Amino acid sequence: MRLLEKLWGRKKSSRKSDKKKKGTSNYAYAVTRVRAMKSKLMPKETYPRLLNMSIDEITRFIEESDYKSDIDELAMKYRGADLAEHALNRNLAFTYEKLLRITEGEPNYLISEYLRRYDVWNVKTLLRGKQYNASVEDIQESLISAGEFTYTFLSELAGKESYQEIIESLVETVYYPILQEYDGTNLADIENKLDKMYYSSLFDAIGKPRSKDRKLFAKFVKLEADVKNLGNLFRLKKAGVEQLDEIMPLMIEGGFALNTEKLAALPYEDFVEELRNTEYWDAISSVMGPDMDSLTALESKLTKYSLESATTYSHVSPVSIVPIMDYIIYKNNEVNNLRIIVRGKEAGLADTLIKDQLVVI
C-alpha cells in the first residue's frame, strides 16, 4: 500500500466536507464513463472457472485483467493470496478515486459521502493499532485509502506516538467530537458511534428523496442498514443481550423495513416469529434453525439479498446516481468474490463452502 503514496500524494490530505453539492452535476458524462468501466468487470461465468484454478493461476488470470498494474506493482512485496488481496484492495481504492475524479457536483458529493466508510475504517484501524501497540508497518498494511483521507495522511497518522496525537490530528474532521470521548479503554463504544455517525451522515447527504433515483439510492443504503441491524440483532440475541437499552445504541437508525425497537424487545422465539412478517424472511428462511449455532450462513444470505435487491432496479434511472452506485456495488462485489476464492483456495476450504460465500449478481 505504501506504493500508492506517490500517486495519492496528489490528493489533499483531507477533503473538506463543506463542498456539498459544489459545481454542476455531470451525470451524463459520469454515467457514460461508469458504463465503460462496468463493461470491464468480470462476467459471472468467470467465478466457476476460477474455482477450478490454483492460486497462481488465479493471480495470473487477475493479472491479465484490469488488475495488471496492481499485481505488477505489488509482486515485489507480496506473494500468493496476499499479493492477490493487496492488489484487489489497491485496485478498489484506485477505482473509487477515479469515480471521485470523473464526477462533479451532486454525484461526487454522494459518492464521497458513501466512501466515508473507508475513512471510518481507517480511523478505527489507527486507534486499534495504537491500543495494541502494533508496529507502524502493521498498521499501514491494514489501511485502505479509498475514502477522503489520502494514504500519505493516514501513514503520517500511523507513525504518531500515541492515540492522543492521532485524535489531535483529526481535530478538523467530523469524527473529532466522537474521538474526543476515547480514553483508551472504550474503543468498542467509539467504533459503534463512528459507524452510526457514518450512516446518519449518509442519510443526511441523501436528504428527503423526491426523485426516483434518489429513492433508489436511499433504498440501497436503508437496505444495507437493515441487513446490518438484522445480523447484529441475531448476534446480540445469541450472545444473551436482551436489554433494550443495551441493544438500541447498537442499531443503525433509518432502516428500510425493520422495526428494530420492536424486534429488540422480543425474546428469541418471538423475534424469529416476527421476522416471518418481514420481507427478509424469504431470503433467510432456508438457513433458519431452532438453535442457530452459526450465523455466518444467515449473514451471507442477507448480504446476497441486499446486493441483489439493490441491483434489480439499477436500469430504472439510466442517467442518475443509480448506475454509479450500481457500479460501486458490482466492483466491490467482484473484489470480494475474487478475495473469497483466493483466500478460500489458499486455506483449502471446500469448493461448496467457497461457492456459498460468493455473491453472483
Partner 1 sequence: MVLQDVKPTRSELITLKKRIKLSESGHKLLKMKRDGLILEFFKILNEARNVRTELDEAYKVATDKINLACAVNGVVAIKSTAFTTKGSPEIKLSGHNIMGVFVPKISSIGVRKPLYERGYGIIGTNSYIDETSDAYEDLVEKIIIAAELETTMKRLLNEIEKTKRRVNALEFKVIPELIETMKFIRFTLEEVEREGTFRLKRIKAKAKD
Q: Which residues bind partner 1 (CB under 8 A)?
A: 82, 85, 89, 120-121, 124-125, 128-129, 131-132, 134, 138-139, 141-142, 144, 187-192, 194-196, 228, 231-232, 234-236, 239-241, 246, 250, 252, 294-296, 298-300, 336, 339-340, 343-344, 346-349, 353-354, 357
Residue 68 beta carbon to partner 1: minimum distance, rounded to whole angstroms: 21
Residue 38 beta carbon to partner 1: minimum distance, rounded to whole angstroms: 23
Residue 353 beta carbon to partner 1: minimum distance, rounded to whole angstroms: 7
Letter string b/e over residues 275-289, b meaning 16 or more CB atoms within 10 A of that residue's CB: beebebeebbeebee
Q: Pick between residue 209 and residue 292 the one whose CB is nearest to partner 1.
A: 292
Q: Pick between residue 142 and residue 164 the one whose CB is nearest to partner 1.
A: 142
Residue 234 beta carbon to partner 1: minimum distance, rounded to whole angstroms: 7
Q: Pick between residue 105 and residue 231 the one whose CB is nearest to partner 1.
A: 231
Q: Pick between residue 69 and residue 243 the one whose CB is nearest to partner 1.
A: 243
Q: Pick between residue 132 and residue 176 the one whose CB is nearest to partner 1.
A: 132
Residue 323 beta carbon to partner 1: minimum distance, rounded to whole angstroms: 26
Q: Pick between residue 112 and residue 232 the one whose CB is nearest to partner 1.
A: 232
Residue 232 beta carbon to partner 1: minimum distance, rounded to whole angstroms: 6
